[in-house]
Structure 1
């Protein structure tokens, strides 16, 4: 990810005071990292106002801010910003709610919470309660958040939503594209409830270039307007967006030269080439040995693309993705030597045939063996999905049958949510999976997600059971939704009579043309593969007239006409 190093630059200031209260129950905090953390996670700013009716208000707000700023940066780099922030906020809510329920003194650990995350050229806002997030853009000043309060009478409001109040927390989320010169302000009600809206806007406009003066003036103005609450405010101004230029990206990506084509016996960085495993127009794969004799797999880029930054990014990303996917059933990426002289990456060597070779040798697999193999693959692909990553190229050539079970290899087509949020200074190289195994939404423009990998797994299982493909030879030629809708699922029982009806129905559902018609989770699909779904057993036992009345009536109508014609000609 070095080639996408963020150039985001901001000016920031914050201040929090007890005001006229004996204790400050507000908490403010921010983290402005550099390097990969700035690129992958961005800048996080947060404000919390402990609910003053609670004895534990101060502790609740401090827990929320400290926990968020620590735990958000500890989430996987592959997760999208919303996923990381929401996981952390929900965990903090559960923790504070549990402390409230278990408190022997009956304290409620309740707090409002508003956070602004700046990543690349996007602002992400997460909000609960009546703290606020404002934005000044040019002459336009607006409050982006909505107060979660309920009015009882003209003078009385109560907080209708707070962190720690309920076991499940509803969080408002906003996404905004940034512009240079934008100023964001986060404030507690001790500020915005007392300073008139026009004065607040003018104060921010007049001090947009000096944020220290802005926050100090806001504190003083709130006290001038008789604020009797804690007074806290944060301000951040966007000085430069976080997208690297194309020249910067190319410079980083080009630091290592492409290696030449290698032959058995050659040595590169202490790695001896044993044999060529695969060659294509896009890459080469070699079996190599390190100085200790440990077998490894080396993948090198093709010299045909050495001037193509999008291709180089995709190649670099393969190694980055693989190094973040850890789990049984997935090939491990091995760190390259520190003195690496050219561009390549290494993975562990997995002895054994590919699924392609196994099917050529054995033909159809026994149902028990095929379902067991898919169980291992489901565990492996769930490792990807937990990191918000799609494999996108599950096919027999990318499954190696080892002594430990099937292993998923190759990260060349993976999609990573967290990386997609980081804007590249060039058009990214999108590598779609093999047409016969990839889900139809890739080609007709539907919504891609975990269900897309589910489709590919189901194609693999279908092929293991039948030696065929579920939609026949025309599937690979379909390009739009209309052409996919013309295709009909071919029952696995037609090719293999040993396949039970209920297993065939589980396959058919996972192989639906429409992603939302498939299983919501891989675990649900596997459950239907392991034991009969009662719904399908009942459906199988129903008479044909009840299952397909329209077809039965059509058959009866045709039969009647045929009988009438036969009788007519017989009489002649």
Structure 2
């Protein structure tokens, strides 16, 4: 279909001069959302001659990759999804080798070379282990995109240095390259590319325009004629069309008209509107009840002025999409869809309670254990985001709910960045909509944030719970360079709340460091240091004033010297001699 990824592929495999064919290959071209979010997968595997079960390994590697890759989360990047599947396959193959008679004899085990090409949006992702090869047509020759993992002993002897199933763990070569309409990729086993030149392969492809299968057969035939004694497999992939940038047809409600804010008593696709819960310039949130089950839910519709704003509508659709891919008691959930919708709106669980901002207004000085309890639940919610390769990007007290039982839940995913979605070509999710007081400093430099940006926001919230203030005031929002951010002054929490332990404050200070590389790299590290003193944190021992507050130190020195000068001048005026 116009505006989507389209390829044509030709493939051929032959046992050649061997009794059996231990090569295996395959391709899967999905449609709809799977095409946009996961892409096209093409893979080739080559068994080793010394193993009677290597063909079984090659087939298992291809089948598991083409099946399991599409079962991974849409939120994950291609790299994360593919590497997890390949790693799991390697572990299974290695275990099979260990289970059979020739324990430890890799040469007779479930071992094979493996290479995969995943085409998503406008990029090609290459995964490679062993001595198969992925190349790209370049003029009248081929440009190799992978390196063979072979250990050459002599001109007549070499060994496979890396393969699936050979060891408990596997090192996977990964490469990414941009796609262009007209690109041609070639995947081949060594039985082909060691006996046919790149020029001959390019010539065969050119000789069969529109018939890649015929080209593949001719290339295999040429390799056999050139003396190849191995199994032979080749796949030829033509890029016929590429998707439009920022296409959103994969979203379930993309074609629907946005719902107008309903009136109380109205019924919207089986939900009866009870009352308004919240109104902002971006959206309207209503309390509603399922007319069949009576379950209460929250329904969000775009604000009237946002009904024609494409970016706002995308973010609205993504909120429910994100909620369906997260499973945490500390993240707002969404109920299963009950029927086809006739308009664009979002349905989520109704959380009866108050925002953390309201809670903070009611509890001006909570104790440390209460602060830790709230922070730990927020961290648990963030952990669910980060494991799904998502960054919330708008963590603030107004987007944290505390229900009537004290459970903390993260809400409002309109600014959430999803790695897999961004990789699919959508740019709307990269806009930063967070509140500046809680936004990580790197965003003000035009950089893209990661999980450490959420850790910064959490650190600011913990500091505010402890002191009622912000660690840097409003200074961060005014910075536009690294140098300006390095000059920011952190106000120690114990100066505002003397009962706060130094070690507790040091953990907050690290979490809110303007430099993301000096922050905690994982939210669990932050939670650990809020529970017990970490002697490795800078400043764990009481620092002198000149280190803690150099400006205040020198101001004090200057004041003292100024006072000394005044005293000396006074004595000079009285006696004519200051001594």
The answer to whether TM tops 0.5 is: yes
Shift in alpha-carbon separation, 1:543–1:361, aligned structure 2, 3 A:
closer
* Structure 1 residue ranges without an equivalent (≥5): none
Task: Return the alpha-carbon distance in structure 2 between the equivalents of residues 396 and 427 of structure 1.
Answer: 24
1:206 CA drift (Å)? 2.2
> Is the Cα contact below 8 Å between 2:140 and 2:199 reproduced in 1?
no
Match of 1:81 in 2: 78
SS of the counterpart of 2:305?
helix
Task: Return the alpha-carbon distance in structure 2 between the equivalents of residues 461 and 214 of structure 1.
Answer: 64
* Structure 2 residue ranges without an equivalent (≥5): 572-576
> Is the Cα contact below 8 Å between 2:334 and 2:347 reproduced in 1?
yes
SS of the counterpart of 1:436?
helix
Task: Return the alpha-carbon distance in structure 1 between the equivalents of residues 176 and 480 of structure 2.
Answer: 33
1:100 CA drift (Å)? 3.0
> Is the Cα contact below 8 Å between 1:19 and 1:228 reproduced in 2?
yes
Match of 1:472 in 2: 473
> Is the Cα contact below 8 Å between 2:24 and 2:62 reproduced in 1?
yes
Shift in alpha-carbon separation, 1:562–1:278, aligned structure 2, 3 A:
closer
Match of 2:497 in 1: 496
Q: Map of 1:388-467 to 2, 5 A cutoff? A: 388-402=389-403, 403=405, 405-424=407-426, 430-467=431-468
SS of the counterpart of 1:72?
helix
User: Does residue 24 of structure 1 match 2:24?
Assistant: no
Task: Return the alpha-carbon distance in structure 2 between the equivalents of residues 564 and 257 of structure 1.
Answer: 76
1:29 CA drift (Å)? 1.4
Match of 1:350 in 2: 351
Task: Return the alpha-carbon distance in structure 1 between the equivalents of residues 541 and 138 of structure 2.
Answer: 66
Q: More deviation in 458-467 or 269-278?
A: 269-278
Match of 1:182 in 2: 183
Shift in alpha-carbon separation, 1:314–1:188, aligned structure 2, 3 A:
same
> Is the Cα contact below 8 Å between 2:126 and 2:175 reproduced in 1?
yes
Q: More deviation in 13-22 or 52-61?
A: 52-61
SS of the counterpart of 2:431?
coil
Task: Return the alpha-carbon distance in structure 1 between the equivalents of residues 116 and 57 of structure 2.
Answer: 16
Task: Return the alpha-carbon distance in structure 1 between the equivalents of residues 548 and 435 of structure 2.
Answer: 36
Shift in alpha-carbon separation, 1:357–1:546, aligned structure 2, 3 A:
closer
Task: Return the alpha-carbon distance in structure 1 between the equivalents of residues 360 and 531 of structure 2.
Answer: 22
Q: Map of 1:64-463 to 2, 5 A cutoff? A: 64-106=61-103, 107-108=105-106, 109-139=110-140, 141-243=142-244, 255-291=255-291, 292-402=293-403, 403=405, 405-424=407-426, 430-463=431-464
1:462 CA drift (Å)? 0.8
Task: Return the alpha-carbon distance in structure 2 between the equivalents of residues 46 and 494 of structure 1.
Answer: 61
Task: Return the alpha-carbon distance in structure 1 between the equivalents of residues 338 and 469 of structure 2.
Answer: 44
> Is the Cα contact below 8 Å between 1:190 and 1:222 reproduced in 2?
yes
> Is the Cα contact below 8 Å between 1:296 and 1:348 reproduced in 2?
yes
Paired residue total: 566
1:31 CA drift (Å)? 1.0
1:173 CA drift (Å)? 1.5
List per-residue Cα deviations over 1:543-572 (Å, max 9, x = no partner): 749978999998999799789868966652
Shift in alpha-carbon separation, 1:541–1:125, aligned structure 2, 3 A:
closer
1:202 CA drift (Å)? 1.8
Match of 2:574 in 1: none
1:275 CA drift (Å)? 1.9
1:11 CA drift (Å)? 1.2
TM-score (norm 2): 0.90
1:225 CA drift (Å)? 0.7
SS of the counterpart of 1:163?
coil
